[in-house]
Amino acid sequence: MRKYVVAGNWKMNKKASESGSLASEIVKLAESSSHVEVVVCPPYTSIAAVAESLKGSAVKLGAQDAHWEESGAFTGKISVSMLKDSGVEYIILGHSEQRIYFDETDENVNKKAKATLAANLTPIICVGETLEEREAEETKAVVKEQLNGAYAGISDEDAEKTIIAYEPIWAIGTGLTATAEQAQEIHGYIRGLLTEKFGSVSAAKVRIQYGGSMKPENAAELLSQPDIDGGLIGGASLKADSFIGIIQAVKS
């Protein structure tokens, strides 16, 4: 059976007390399902509070980034082992905002992915193009370069343990929306790249999320596409009812 994954990226929102309450509300509303994995990714300062709220539930805990080194003089950074010790099971890597605002590189995403896999955690590796790149018809070239960089030196077996989030940056918080067909075109292209790199068996096991402003209103149409295996949800994950609405769309 196809296993979807819906992850809420809370970005720089919610203090610890607010995060704990939101997580509790999501737990209360999210009925467990054998074919939907639910993940919430709060800010670092809220991880402990959210971990407490998720105890005993099927909802999983994620983080929004990590450093690839185990420890050392990296002021302001958090290691994979620190996150694992706090109960984190998933880590978002290479998010478009990290790439745009903080000069994230494909090489660093690769190092973070390897560190995450070595700790037996699941990396959610983000790829996607800007509006300028889309208008210049560079979408596939950009996605290919990001994917090849992120997966350099990663084995077929480890690739199967990863999740990819396709983020059309031009469709995030801009009012512009990718159609289900546009999203599927790139998801299918990503699946093809994975097949070339790791073979069809491994490629089929990698789940590809859509990260371009998925909402309860458009979730069902997007998720009906053959290569869209869930969503990386931004704004709609900050309210329990809208986040649950997307999860229910997956179940339907």
Backbone angles phi, psi at 227, to 5 degrees: -115, 15
- How far apart are alpha carbons 31 and 63 in whole angstroms? 22
Residue 20: CB partners within 8 Å, gap ≥ 6?
46, 49, 50, 52, 53
Helix (H, G, I), strand (E, B) or coil at 39: strand
- The one-letter amino acid code at 152 reads A
Of residues 105, 128, 125, the one with CA closest to residue 117 = 125
Spot the catalytic one: 37, 67, 95, 104: 95
Helix (H, G, I), strand (E, B) or coil at 37: strand
Cα 103 from Cα 125, distance rounded (Å): 16
Return the DSSP state at 67: B
With tokens 């075109």, the residue in question is 185
Catalytic residue among 37, 129, 133, 167: 167
Instruction: Give catalytic status of residue 221 as yes or no.
Output: no
Three-class DSSP category at 64: coil
Could you confirm whether 35 is annotated as catalytic? no
Count Cα atoms within 13 angstroms, Cβ side, for 67: 13
d(CA 33, CA 154): 30
The CA-based dihedral angle spanning residues 101, 72, 124, 42, taken in that order and rounded to the nearest 10 degrees: -70
- The residues that are catalytic are 95, 167
